[in-house]
């Protein structure tokens, strides 16, 4: 879709997930009507393939894909019905237990080479959701193996990393430093929850940051690590982007309900307030940032 006004960008969304099976096209149409272009993010084999297929089907609306293996899917884990739906062949949509996936380099490389694919991920380390049936050491080792392979893939196909990091910033930063500038293509740390010091380390390595609905919530009580406000104010405006992470974490007016990309203006308005610019300027800066980081000219 061509438009004279800059587009809103949802740099991290999951509209391919089962949560949208009943009304996916309506959700996408609402985003398009609101001027929101999106990057649909894979989390394992199937959601990555679906992200690429959806981006191909909606190329005219400026939809792109990222493909990768999320750290929680490297362990045997309970899956959220919103993500993958019911068991294969079953009728009911319900959570199910999956085996851990081993990162298949060639499978993901083929998806990565698709022209609609603009990033590798989401991938990284998640020390918040371990499978309690298994010692953590092995789970951490598998997460690190998958993350390292996806770092290599970013160099192989010259597309940026889309990092998921939860309660694992020290190890994530250590792995990136060990790989060095020749070991990965910097990109985005999504749903950034780190400290100002973490942000500084990642900025120095060339990363940008996406923020979503959580920035619209009241500050966390007793949070020792500082607030989103502090971190957003610290990060330069040319390293900030908006995301929904839909179907999760809807912004304040819709908190607790299924999120969707058309809600992006609420997040951009809050980011604008924190950066002391107008919503229009924030929107234009995010678009420019997304075009630079994803290597897209004329996003949308």
Whose CA is closest to 227, among 267, 165, 265, 274? 274
Q: Which is nearer to Zn ion, 10 or 198 (CB)?
A: 10
Minimum distance from residue 122 beta carbon to Zn ion (Å): 5
Q: Which is nearer to Zn ion, 14 or 266 (CB)?
A: 14
d(CA 103, CA 145): 8
Minimum distance from residue 43 beta carbon to Zn ion (Å): 7
Minimum distance from residue 124 beta carbon to Zn ion (Å): 11
Minimum distance from residue 71 beta carbon to Zn ion (Å): 11
Which residues does 23 contact at the CB level (< 8 Å), separation at least 6?
Answer: none
d(CA 51, CA 62): 13
Q: Which is nearer to Zn ion, 47 or 185 (CB)?
A: 47
Interface with Zn ion includes 83 (CB under 5 A)?
no
Tell me the two tokens of residue 76: 């045997």
Whose CA is closest to 100, among 71, 57, 121? 71
Minimum distance from residue 75 beta carbon to Zn ion (Å): 17
Minimum distance from residue 235 beta carbon to Zn ion (Å): 19
Interaction residues for Zn ion, span 165-224 (CB under 5 A): none
Interaction residues for Zn ion, span 239-268 (CB under 5 A): 245
The answer to whether 95 and 79 have CB atoms below 8 angstroms apart is yes
- 3-state secondary structure labels for all residues of 89-104: CCCCCCCEEECCCCCC
Stretch that binds Zn ion, among 18-26, 85-93, 136-144, 238-246 (CB under 5 A): 238-246
Site string for Zn ion, 8-47 (x = CB under 5 A): ----------------------------------------
Q: Which is nearer to Zn ion, 198 or 245 (CB)?
A: 245
SS3 for 240? strand
Using a 10 angstrom Cβ sphere, with 0-12 exposed, 13-18 middle and 19 or more buried, the burial of residue 2 is exposed
Q: Which is nearer to Zn ion, 126 or 245 (CB)?
A: 245
Work out the number of other CB atoms within 10 angstroms of the CB of residue 6.
Answer: 18
d(CA 74, CA 127): 12
- What is the number of the residue whose Cβ is closest to Zn ion? 245
Residues near Zn ion (CB under 5 A) are 245
């Amino acid at each position: 879709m061509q438009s004279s006004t800059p587009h809103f960008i949802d740099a991290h969304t999951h509209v391919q997930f089962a949560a949208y099976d009943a009304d996916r096209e309506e959700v996408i149409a609402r985003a398009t009507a609101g001027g929101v272009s999106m990057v649909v993010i894979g989390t394992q084999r199937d959601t990555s393939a679906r992200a690429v297929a959806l981006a191909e089907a909606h190329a005219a609306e400026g939809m792109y894909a990222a493909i990768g293996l999320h750290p929680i899917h490297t362990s045997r884990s309970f899956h959220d019905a919103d993500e993958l739906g019911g068991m294969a062949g079953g009728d009911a949509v319900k959570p199910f237990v999956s085996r851990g996936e081993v990162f298949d380099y060639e499978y993901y490389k083929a998806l990565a080479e698709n022209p609609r694919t603009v990033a590798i991920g989401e991938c990284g380390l998640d020390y918040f959701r371990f499978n309690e049936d298994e010692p953590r050491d092995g789970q951490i080792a598998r997460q690190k193996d998958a993350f390292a392979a996806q770092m290599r893939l970013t160099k192989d196909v010259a597309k940026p990393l889309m990092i998921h990091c939860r309660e694992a910033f020290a190890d994530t930063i250590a792995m990136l430093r060990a790989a060095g500038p020749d070991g990965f293509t910097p990109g985005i740390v999504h749903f950034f929850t780190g400290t100002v010091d973490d942000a500084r380390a990642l900025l120095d390595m060339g990363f940008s940051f996406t923020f979503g609905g959580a920035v619209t919530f009241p500050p966390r009580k007793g949070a020792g690590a500082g607030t989103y406000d502090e971190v957003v104010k610290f990060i330069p405006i040319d390293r900030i982007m908006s995301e929904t992470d839909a179907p999760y974490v809807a912004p304040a007016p819709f908190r607790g309900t299924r999120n969707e990309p058309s809600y992006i203006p609420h997040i951009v308005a809050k980011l604008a307030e924190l950066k002391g610019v107008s919503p229009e300027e924030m929107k234009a800066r995010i678009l420019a940032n997304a075009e630079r980081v994803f290597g897209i000219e004329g996003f949308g």
